[in-house]
Amino acid sequence: MRKTVTAMMVAAVAVTGAAASADAANKKQKVDPEEAIKYRQHVMTAVGGHTKAVAQIVKGKVPVPHHLGGHAKALVDMSRTTLELFPKGTGPDAGDTKAKAEIWEDWKDFRKKAEAFNKAAVNLVKAARSNNPKTVKKATKKLGDSCENCHDDYKKEDD
Ligand code: HEC
């Protein structure tokens, strides 16, 4: 028994150590702008997918209201990473991106818009738990507004 506990402790230390060195490696690793842009677009596409799925559920087009909470939670997780999707040097000069240069000039405001997205996603998780269609509708609208508020200022129009 004692041996098992020690082994578990060693394993726990190993995991913590591995996580710490992964963090250090990430910090040291140089950002490849083109990969960072692609990654950002993949994550945003995923965010778009969850948001469109939520809209279908809320409009009653698919009979899966119990999926709502899962989409909302995924959006919360992704909203926490938004700022990390925009490392310096991944603007319009760096590749095929719709991100505007103003993001890095108005970083404080950009951060606010990312925080509003996070808040709206957290709010949707709560709304999904309420099981109240009105509350869910309101929360969904708020979420959509949080995307638009950022896109309006910081994402180039589709051409
Ligand atoms: C803080 C700002 C911000 C927020 C909040 C935000 N986005 Fe975006 N989004 C962007 C920017 C900037 C781009 C352009 C990225 C690029 O082309 O590199 C983008 C791109 C996208 C794309 C296109 C991805 C692609 O493949 O080119 C989709 C879809 C998208 N966002 C959906 C959403 C949805 C849905 C929400 C809200 C639930 C949201 N975004 C919230 C800034 C934001």
List the chain pLDDT tens, one digit each, 159 residues: 455 555 555 555 454 455 555 555 556 568 899 999 999 999 999 999 999 999 999 999 999 999 999 999 999 999 999 999 999 999 999 999 999 999 999 999 999 999 999 999 999 999 999 989 999 999 999 999 999 999 999 999 976
Report CA 132 to chain centroid distance, whole Å.
25
Pocket of ligand 1 (CB under 6 A): 37, 40-41, 44-45, 47-48, 51, 82, 97-99, 110, 113-114, 117, 143, 146-147, 150-151, 154-155
Global confidence as pTM: 0.86
3-class secondary-structure state, position 86:
coil
Q: Distance between CA atoms of 155 and 110, rounded to whole angstroms?
A: 11
CATH of 31-154, one of 1.10.287.130, 3.40.190.10, 1.20.120.10, 1.10.274.30: 1.20.120.10
| Residue keyed to tokens 């404080």 | 108
34, 52, 147, 156: residue to mutate for ligand 1 pocket, most atoms within 8 A of CB: 147
Q: Where are the domains of the chain?
A: 1-30, 31-154
